[in-house]
């Protein structure tokens, strides 16, 4: 086993999955809010609320205490939703040792500040290398033993390569990328497009419609991502196109599920009330529109999703809005 000790904060589906993966390679301790979840992981090696029928690695240890999870950790992994990220990291800060790398699993943007999670890490924990693990990673498929690939993005490639070994397993292949901005934005922005794809599926639109939403959605997120400093090639890779396709097409995708239910005629409030997990696209779409305005980037699909989430538009309203949008050359923005 690797000698690096992992402290992972967050007992949701993806945080638990990553903790189970790293526990194969190195000592891993996970913190979860729910005491029953902690006891279940330690006693039965399961997390039935978020990963039904999945068996976690027997070496994984859970704790009720944030301080216990991070105090002796050589790497901190933040499996916390974007809007709770800052508060949990501030709570953990006094117990985290100097210079320890901190890796985010969140795919969202903070409301109010428009910040990416690595920016929050750099603000709260200056001097700690900040990175993100992202890609087309549906937790239940990975826990079922299906092959998947991901990206660990950090500015320091030496640290990224060391962490690559921590996260990689036989069927979970991890690549490195120095474009933290692009990788992080790809993960956050694709959730909004997935809501649009889900709305299309929910209304009974066909494969052609879904393909158009994915392709034009990729153009939107690439335009904004590049304007904010990401590299164009990143959005054609696992953190961009790869994650977008998985999230827009899989029935396991929370954001697509939200869109699908809205497309079926249900209200957003009804859909969210029934979900035990966070759909980051709902939380982030307002921030994305603020950034689109700030960087003067045309994002018509995102704009229609925004109106559904914040102005009570229906899925049909959204598609009518897109049809009214003037078509241009495919190479032009919009």
Number of other CB atoms surrounding residue 122 within 10 Å: 16
Cα gap 22→24, rounded to integer Å: 5
Cα gap 110→112, rounded to integer Å: 6
Cα gap 263→175, rounded to integer Å: 36
So which residues are the catalytic ones?
190
Q: What's the DSSP call for residue 57?
A: P
DSSP E strands, 94-169: 102-104, 130-134, 148-154
Burial level of 108, CB count in 10 A (0-12/13-18/19+)? Answer: buried
Cα gap 266→270, rounded to integer Å: 7
User: 25 in helix, strand or coil?
Assistant: coil
Number of other CB atoms surrounding residue 34 within 10 Å: 12
């Amino acid at each position: 086993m690797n000698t690096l000790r992992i402290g992972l904060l967050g007992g949701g589906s993806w945080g638990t999955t990553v903790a189970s993966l790293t526990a194969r390679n190195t000592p891993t301790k996970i913190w979860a809010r729910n005491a029953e979840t902690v006891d279940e992981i330690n006693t039965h090696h399961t997390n039935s609320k978020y990963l039904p029928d999945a068996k976690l690695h027997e070496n994984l240890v859970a704790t009720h205490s944030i301080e216990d999870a991070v105090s002796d950790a050589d790497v901190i992994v933040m499996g916390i939703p974007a809007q709770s990220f800052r508060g949990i990291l501030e709570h953990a800060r006094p117990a985290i040792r100097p210079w320890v790398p901190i890796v985010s699993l969140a795919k969202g943007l903070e409301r109010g500040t428009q910040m990416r999670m690595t920016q929050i890490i750099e603000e709260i924990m200056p001097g700690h290398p900040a990175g993100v693990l992202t890609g087309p990673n549906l937790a239940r498929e990975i826990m079922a033993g299906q092959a998947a690939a991901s990206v660990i993005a950090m500015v320091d490639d030496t640290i990224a390569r060391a962490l690559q070994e921590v996260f990689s397993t036989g069927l979970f292949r991890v690549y490195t990328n120095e474009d933290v901005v692009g990788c992080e934005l790809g993960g956050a922005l694709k959730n909004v497009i997935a809501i649009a794809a889900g709305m299309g599926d929910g209304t009974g639109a066909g494969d052609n419609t879904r393909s158009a939403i994915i392709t034009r959605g990729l153009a939107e997120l690439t335009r904004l991502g590049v304007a904010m400093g990401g590299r164009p090639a990143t959005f054609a890779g696992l953190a961009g196109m790869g994650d977008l396709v998985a999230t827009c097409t899989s029935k396991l995708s929370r954001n697509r599920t939200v869109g699908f239910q809205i497309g079926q005629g249900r209200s957003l409030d009804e859909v969210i009330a029934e979900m035990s997990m966070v759909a980051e696209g709902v939380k982030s779409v307002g921030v994305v529109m603020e950034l689109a305005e700030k960087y003067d980037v045309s994002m018509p699909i995102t704009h229609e999703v925004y109106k559904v989430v914040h102005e009570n538009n229906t899925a049909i309203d959204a598609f009518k809005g897109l049809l009214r949008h003037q078509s241009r050359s495919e190479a032009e923005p919009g």
